[in-house]
Amino acid sequence: MPTLNYLCPTTSSELKKILKKKKTDSFILAGGTDLLVKIRHNVVKPKEIIDIKKIKKFNEIKLTKTQLNIGCAATLNEIAENKTIKEKFPAIADGSLSIGSTQIRNRGTLVGNLCNSSPVADTVPGLLIYDAKIKILSPTGTKTVSIHDFITGVGKNILKKNEIVESVILPLPKNTKSAFLKNARRKALDLSSVNVAVGLFNKSKKNPDIRIAVGACAPITKRAQKAEKFLKKNGLTDETIKKAAKMLPISPISDLRGSKEFRNKIAHRLFIKLATQLGEV
């Protein structure tokens, strides 16, 4: 019978000691909504599981004067229902709400969604447009990296085996609005065929500070810098939005969730819809 070592630290310092000795067959457990599926499908065979939910501060969603910290054990439903996130970061709240079902969101975490680093992750486009910072904990201390440098490939990120993401830091924006849309085969419990987050960070229609990220259409979801620059220069009109849609950095594949042609079309339409909506109000 295979044995499984279950560790459940209650403080950061305890966790640090565990991380120091962590091996490659040891896995971090937060909500477990990705890990348990991978274990069932024999994708990973853990000999040790480190449950981080019992560390109190990891569960917190904390607001300071300049930023919002989302702890790595904060659940997707807590995020989707958080008043500050709904007000200040609607694309992140809606992205979180679009994942799985109520039951899954009661377990799953935003940081888990990020660390799973799937191209279809529904919280990632939102994190990208808000230039989130990722606070990484290792046995020797903490460091902060940009969301733009975090994901390195399909299911891959910069985390080393003895590191975890402790929290996601969102600088508090001024005068912003944002929105998120997801296209999937059904209305709940489905992976995105395409997901899009768009944010408007100033009130200028002439020189809009617009930020765009389209997910599920490339190995790594990235900001649509070319389209952003184009719109900033040329203003937000029906015509420029349509032109910008053609500049999205997307190269979708065909799979069971949709053909590349379909994904291209949907990505364009969702982007146009969001950009138009944000420009109108």
Partner 1 sequence: MNKKFTSVGVKTKRVDAKAKVTGAAQYVDDIQFPGTLYAKVFRSTEPHAEIVSIDLEKAKKLPGVKAVICGKDFPYHTGLYHVDQYMFAMEKVRYVGEPVAAVAATSLEIAEKALKLIKVKYKKLKANYDPIKGMKKDAPLIHPDLHKYFSVPSINPKPHSNIPNHFKIRKGDPAKAFKKAHKIIENRFKVPQIQHVPLETHGAIAKTDLSGKITVWSSCQSPFTVRYLLAHCFKKQLKDFRIIAPFVGGGFGCKAGVNIEPITVALSMKCLGKPVKLILTREEEMYTIVVRQACHIRIKSGVDKNGKIIAQENEYIWDCGAYAGYGVNIVRAAGYSICGAYNIPNIKGDSIGVYTNRPVGSAFRGFGMSEIHWAIEQQMDMIAIEMGIDAVEFRKLNTLKPGSTTATCQVVTKHTGNMIACIEETAKNIGWGKKKKAGKNNYRAVGIALAQKAPAMPNNATSAAVVKLNEFGGAEVLFSGMEIGQGVMTAMGQIAAETLGISMDKVNVVGLPDTDYSPYEWQTVASRITFSCGNAVKNAAQDAIDQVKKIAAKVFECKAKDIVVQDGIIKYGKKTLPLEQVCMGYQYEDGHTIGGAIIGRGHFTAKDCINCDPKTGYSPKPVANWTYGAQAVDVEVNGETGELTIHNVSCTYDIGKVINPQGADGQAYGGIVQGMGAGIMEALVVDEKTGNVMNPSFVDYKVPTIKDMPLSMTSSFIETQQLDGPYGARGVGEHTMIPTPAAIANAVYYATGVRIQELPVTAEKVLKGLEELGKNK
- The footprint of partner 1 (CB under 8 A) covers 1-2, 101, 183, 185-191, 256-259, 262, 265-266, 269, 273
Query: Can you list the alpha helix ranges (DSSP code H) found in 6-53?
Result: 12-20, 35-40
* Minimum distance, C-beta of residue 40 to partner 1, in the bound complex (Å): 9
Helix (H) or strand (E) holding 113, with range, is: helix 110-116
The DSSP call for residue 255 is B
Nearest CB to partner 1, comparing residues 174 and 187: 187
Nearest CB to partner 1, comparing residues 31 and 258: 258
Instruction: Tell me how far CA of residue 123 lies from CA of 41, 61, 280, in angstroms.
Output: 24, 16, 25
* Minimum distance, C-beta of residue 256 to partner 1, in the bound complex (Å): 4
Tokens of 170: 């969102």
* Minimum distance, C-beta of residue 64 to partner 1, in the bound complex (Å): 36
Nearest CB to partner 1, comparing residues 132 and 181: 181
Nearest CB to partner 1, comparing residues 68 and 197: 197
Nearest CB to partner 1, comparing residues 172 and 253: 253
The DSSP call for residue 173 is P
Q: Are the C-beta atoms of 121 and 112 separated by less than 8 Å?
A: no
Determine phi and psi for 172, rounding to 5 degrees.
-70, 120
* Minimum distance, C-beta of residue 187 to partner 1, in the bound complex (Å): 4
Please tell me the distance from the alpha carbon of residue 92 to that of residue 127, in angstroms, as a whole number. Answer: 7
* Minimum distance, C-beta of residue 163 to partner 1, in the bound complex (Å): 28
Please tell me the distance from the alpha carbon of residue 47 to that of residue 26, in angstroms, as a whole number. Answer: 6
SS3 at position 107: helix
DSSP3 helix / strand / coil % (the chain, rounded to 5): 35, 25, 40
Please tell me the distance from the alpha carbon of residue 239 to that of residue 229, in angstroms, as a whole number. Answer: 15
* Minimum distance, C-beta of residue 26 to partner 1, in the bound complex (Å): 20
